[in-house]
Structure 1
Amino acid sequence: MITRTLLAIVLLACVITAIAVVHARHQHRQLFAQLTRLETARDELNIDFGRLQLEQATWAESNRIDQVARQRLEMKSPETADIVVIRP
């Protein structure tokens, strides 16, 4: 009688352990898939960030700023006669 009870307890423990292992592997696969998706999104964001940094550097070049100031704002360098030096 005691051996049957002990056998039933061991069998039940084995079934519960097997179910726990299956659950843990399933959860691991789901988390790994999520990690892969997040890494892909991170890589795409890094590419976009690099592209935006390059674009910002292009827009901030002094030649570009000078060109926009002359064309759109109709700005020009002052003539020598128009420059006034103020000394303290």
Structure 2
Amino acid sequence: MAVLLSGLGVVYVSHQCRLLYGELAQLQQEKNRLEIARGQNLLEASAQASLYRVEQLALGKLGMQVPALDDIVRVKP
């Protein structure tokens, strides 16, 4: 009887190991996918925040302009 129960236990544990290994493989694939997406997002964020892009948006969408030298006023502390 003990041998039968021991055998069933081995079968059950082996089955659980297979299931968990499959889940581990899926999670590793998702981790890799998320790391790639993170890298792409970091590149996009750095491109969006580049000084040239900020200047172009300020000039184009906000109508800002670089002040002329005569328009600059220095305030002494």
Tell me the TM-score normalized by structure 1: 0.85
Matched residues, percent identical?
A: 32
Q: Which runs of 5+ in 2 are unaligned?
A: none
Which residue is equivalent to 2:12?
Answer: 23
Unaligned runs of 5+ in 1: 1-11
Which consecutive aligned stretches of 4+ in structure 1 deviate over 4 angstroms post-superposition?
A: none
CA RMSD of aligned residues (A): 0.6
The residue type paired with residue 36 of structure 1 is A
TM-score of the aligned structures, taking structure 2 as reference length: 0.97
Q: Count how many residue pairs are aligned between Structure 1 and Structure 2.
A: 77
Q: Between the two structures, name the one with larger relative contact order (CA 8 Å, sep ≥ 6).
A: 2
Larger radius of gyration: 1
Which residue number corresponds to residue 71 of structure 1?
60
Match of 2:25 in 1: 36
